[in-house]
Amino acid sequence: MIIGNFTYDKKADTYAGDITTLTFQRGEVQIRPAEKTGAAKEPDYRIVTQTPNGTVEFGAAWDRKSEAGKSFLSVQIDDPALGEPLNAALFVTENGKGATLIWSRYKKKTVSD
């Protein structure tokens, strides 16, 4: 399910757009490169938005490759109002000028006896 649409600024390596679900709506979202600290598993990008009180960070993203070799961002959005973090994947469009944020419900694996 598509929950966000973004434009991509290749020079700044930044995505700008919106995220919308039935219970979560946020415009003016930026996914921009994270400052590297050398910490283990640190994100490649920070997800921020502008509010009347300034910039607020509400997520992070990591560079990944699919089994088919396609690059994408593994996105995690979190906020105290959410029951749990929202995980999604950001895929750049074929023309390279935009990106689509895709969410799908996690399927729990069943254990066979």
Which pLDDT value is given to residue 108?
65
> How many domains does the structure of the chain reveal?
1
Burial 87-104 (b: 16+ CB within 10 A, else e): ebbbebeeeeeebbbebe
Q: Is residue 23 situated within a structural domain? A: yes
Could you tell me the two tokens for 13?
Answer: 């390596």
Q: Which of these, 48, 49, 95, 103, lies nearest to 73 by C-alpha position? A: 103
Q: What value does the mean pLDDT take over residues 85-107? A: 89
* Mean pLDDT, all residues of the chain: 90
Task: Find out whether 57 and 69 touch, Cβ atoms under 8 Å.
Answer: no
Q: Is residue 8 situated within a structural domain? A: yes
Q: Is residue 107 situated within a structural domain? A: no
Q: Is residue 16 situated within a structural domain? A: yes
Domain boundaries, position 82: 2-102
Q: Is residue 76 situated within a structural domain? A: yes
pLDDT digits (tens, 9 = 90+) for 51-91: 999 999 999 999 999 999 999 999 999 988 888 899 999 99
Q: pTM of the full predicted structure?
A: 0.86
Q: Is residue 113 situated within a structural domain? A: no
Q: Is residue 25 situated within a structural domain? A: yes
Please report which confidence band the pLDDT of residue 26 belongs to, taking 50, 70 and 90 as the band edges.
confident
Q: Is residue 111 situated within a structural domain? A: no
